[in-house]
Amino acid sequence: MLTETTNIDTHLIPVLKTVSDPEIPVLTVLDLGVIREATEQDGVVTIKLTPTYSGCPAMDVIGDDLKTAFSEIGKEAKIELILSPAWTTDWISEEGLQKMEEYGIARPMSESADKDVLLGEKKLVKCTNCGSTNTHLVSQFGSTACKALFKCDDCQEPFDYFKCLK
Amino acid sequence: MKENLYKYILGIADNSLILAQRLGELCGHGPSLETDIALTNISLDLLGQTRSYYQYAAKLAGEDKTEDDIAFLRIEREYKNVLLVEQPNTHFGHVMARQFLFDVYHLMLMEQLQNSKDETLAAIAKKGIKEVSYHKRFSSDWVKRLGDGTEESKEKMQEAINAMWRFTDELFDVMEADKAMIEEGIAVDVSEMKETYYEKVSEILEKATLEVPERKYFTRGGKKGVHTEHMGYLLADLQYMQRTYPNMTW
């Protein structure tokens, strides 16, 4: 559900698609929904980027990667970091969610289901390896701020779960 | 320059910076892998919020000031964080007590700051709420787990809560700059949050089968720049790189 609109010039999309999240390399910045605006005027591309989490170190890298990607086609890119409206996991595209699951990160659940699983009250998160929901929370915090760590009790695989952020 | 606004921003941001630094000290030293990761994740969230505040403050200050100048190049008296956040990581109980007592306050502050007339502060708060509510959940869970755990964990958790308690009252002190900002609808009047804060904290302590300390005397000073003896050591660590190699970048 995209409640907040983006303003992205279609001719810039092919370049934007070449830049991915350094921590989840299967996701492009477009899949992740962090690009809120990308417009070109007089040869200068202005990009408005919103962070997933305030302290996400990937944001600085993404900004630099975007500049590099555009400079390679002879364009200057200006990056502006915006905080409002705050990023939500709803902005990850369906394609992005599928890629993420294939990569081994379970997709965020709805807000209420998310609360249940992170409090360890219900078993709802699907194992990315075998598909079982017989899984349990290992750690509320995972390898990055946006993820929690889970383990499958059927196939014993540990995996990341992308926390719902709304 | 909008001096009162600048001071107000630093009053909030310094708390996040100093607590982030304390939690960062535990990187690789947490009692278990999961708590180690959790503490550094929380540290990172706080540091991210700090950067947003300092970037804004640097813009207000002008004169080519940067977020790094504000973070690294002030002297001890110029940091306006509360005494609570600079307290050392004595043991995991202390880490959780400090975190819990700060998180409850922090979330209440963010919830009100999101209605600030200052758009930037409101945006930082709206973003921060999502993160801080997760921190509060984590620290509350640990207070309950340790308080209602074994005899030893209960004793240590109670000792930690007692040790931190004397720093809580300062959270609600209103400084001169804050008063001006409250009048303009920019700042949160934290003095009004006090009663609810202690109710919320007590509720969780009771669930944790811990005693709510009864203390009449509180220690304060951080908001005026008068810190405990721990602050100097913390800053020595925090500022080392910029003091030794001025202007270095990664």
Q: Is the ipTM of this complex over 0.85?
A: no
User: What are the residue ranges spanned by the domains of chain B?
Assistant: 3-244
Q: Which of B34, B51, B126 sits opposite A86 (nearest CB)?
A: B126
Check B138 against A141: CB less than 8 A apart: yes
**Among A56-60, B90-94, B227-231, where is mean pLDDT lowest?**
A56-60
Structural domains of chain A sorted by starting position, each given as residue range(s) with its CATH number in brackets? 7-91 (3.30.300.130), 104-162 (no CATH)
Tokens at A134, concatenated: 């017989």
Going by C-alpha positions, the residue among B48, B45, B42 that lies closest to residue B23 is: B42
Q: What is the pLDDT of residue B248?
A: 85
Provide, as residue numbers in chain B, all residues whose Cβ is less than 8 Å from the Cβ of A139: 33-34, 37-38
CATH class of B3-244: mainly alpha
Query: Exposed, middle or buried by CB within 10 Å (0-12, 13-18, 19+), for B33?
Result: exposed
Going by C-alpha positions, the residue among B218, A42, B10 that lies closest to residue B2 is: B10
Query: Can you spell out the DSSP letters for chain A?
Result: ---S--EE-GGGHHHHTT-B-SSSTTSBHHHHT-EEEEEEETTEEEEEE--SSTT-THHHHHHHHHHHHHHTTT-EEEEEE--SSPP-GGGS-HHHHHHHHHHTEEPP--HHHHHHHHTT----PPPTTT----EEEEESS-SSTTEEEEEETTT--EEEEE----
pLDDT tens by residue, B137-194: 999 999 999 999 999 999 999 999 999 999 999 999 999 999 999 999 999 999 999 9
Provide, as residue numbers in chain B, all residues whose Cβ is less than 8 Å from the Cβ of A53: 44-45, 48, 131
Check B130 against A86: CB less than 8 A apart: yes
Q: Which of B38, B47, B120 sits opposite A139 (nearest CB)?
A: B38
Please tell me the pTM assigned to this model: 0.91
Q: Which B positions 85-124 lie with beta carbon below 8 A of chain A?
A: 119-120, 122-124
CA distance B138 to B148: 15
Interface residue of A23, A49, A64, A83 to substitute, partner B, most B CBs within 10 Å:
A83
Provide, as residue numbers in chain A, all residues whose Cβ is less than 8 Å from the Cβ of B121: none
